[in-house]
């Protein structure tokens, strides 16, 4: 694992963008990053305007769905809750 990844993890920055995809790591601790105040920080913003977060992806998908007037899909994949390697 790179030093940058370790530093991001230690600071609680569990999300990263790869293009329009968000990748996350399990922080192995409770984090207060899903409350109403966080939702408001991402609502109506552009994808890269704020630090990476699931709420940014959700808001971008919603805006795209409304703009195109078509359904959209978000894929969530991975091993959730797996122990550290």
**What SS3 string covers the chain?**
CCHHHHHHHHCCCCEEEECCEEEECCCCCCCCCCCHHHHHHHCCCCCCCCCCCHHHHHHHHHHHHHHHCCCCCCCCCCCCCCCCC
pTM: 0.78
Domain range list for the chain: 3-68
pLDDT digits (tens, 9 = 90+) for 35-81: 999 999 999 999 999 999 999 999 998 999 999 998 888 888 876 65
pLDDT attached to residue 5: 72
């Amino acid at each position: 694992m790179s030093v940058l990844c370790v530093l991001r993890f230690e600071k609680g920055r569990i999300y990263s963008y790869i293009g329009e995809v968000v990748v996350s790591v399990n922080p192995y601790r409770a984090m207060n990053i899903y409350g109403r105040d966080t939702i408001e920080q991402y609502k109506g913003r552009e994808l890269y305007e704020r630090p990476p977060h699931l709420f940014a992806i959700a808001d971008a998908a919603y805006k795209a769905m409304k703009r195109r007037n078509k359904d959209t899909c978000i894929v969530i994949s991975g091993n959730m809750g797996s122990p550290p390697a």
